[in-house]
Amino acid sequence: MSAKLALLVALGLFAAFYLAVLVRGARQARQRTGDRGTATPAGVATGFVTNFFDTLGIGSFATTTAIFRQWRMVRDERIPGTLNVGHTLPTIAQAFIFTTLVPVGAKTLIGMIAAAILGAWLGAGVVASWSRRRVQIGMGIALIAMALIMAWRTGVGDPTGGNLLELDGALLVLALAGNFFLGMLMTLGIGLYAPCMILVSLLGMNPKAAFPIMMGSCAFLMPVASARFVREQAFDVRAALGLLIGGVPAVLIAGLIVKSLPLTVVKWIVVVVVLYTATTLLLAARKREASEALGQPAPVPNEPGVATP
């Protein structure tokens, strides 16, 4: 069995593991709240739109966060978990479609994926226990970083990179450390795709090598991160199911039929929206801190069905 085939088999096993975790978590949430957790049309539409553009290179975490906050679909402290749980299956579908397209050295591919998984496991354990204010600050900073990376990629372009499809020695160590850190950031809601593309290019790899690395990394790390978020019940069941149900067909359409679109204008719009969302998160955290300092009840921003103060 080739390394790539073994990787795809393992990906199938991770998908089965994720589905088992999701079903158990949804049942626990139903027992705890009495809510059946049915996906809403708005959640399904969000999953379709964000995963369609994710497959074409826009990214889904930042755009989904902006939608969640604008329409108050998910409480702030549950957004990181909902992003990871809801976008897992669409990301696995992306990995199945694209991993076979680019030949990447097995040692580099598997090593970087394993590093991202470990980073996500450790990061999810931390983020799942964070307070709403800490999540707001963390996501606000992460989204600003994501917007700057996206603006740079759109305006200047990625580093030209080289022709390497395999890394060794110090370069491999840097690649593993970088993907470990990116895996941790995934749990805060900053997507791995754009920074991973930059990482592999700076290390002298062929930029096309980023696709199996970044999609494989996300496809393997997200079930692991999701398991911790589900265990802590730090996600919104309805919203996560909406992302899953809408996301899988969107990936199939974008990856197998559409394949590419001129997206420059869309990318600049996303940059503006993400910066706006980051600003609102940081302002909400500041209001919460001020209220707590005065001994007043903390504001409850973007709770579903509750107007933002």
Residue-wise pLDDT tens digits, 117-176: 999 888 888 888 888 888 889 888 888 988 888 888 788 776 766 788 899 999 999 999
**Among 26, 88, 92, CA closest to 61:** 88
Adjacent-strand bridge partners of 205: 164
pLDDT higher than 50, residue 219: yes
What Å distances lie between residue 302 and 83, 103, 205, 286, CA to CA? Answer: 16, 44, 42, 15
Distance CA 186, CA 163 (A): 27
Length of the chain counted residue by residue: 309
pLDDT higher than 90, residue 308: no
pTM of the model: 0.84
What is the percent of the chain where pLDDT is above 70? 92
Helices 106-127 & 79-98, crossing angle to 10 degrees?
Answer: 170
What is the percent of the chain where pLDDT is above 90? 43
For the purposes of burial, counting CB atoms within 10 Å of the CB of 293, is it exposed (0-12), middle (13-18) or buried (19 or more)?
exposed
Work out the pLDDT band at 299, boundaries 50, 70, 90. low
Placement of tokens 């108050």 in the chain: 72
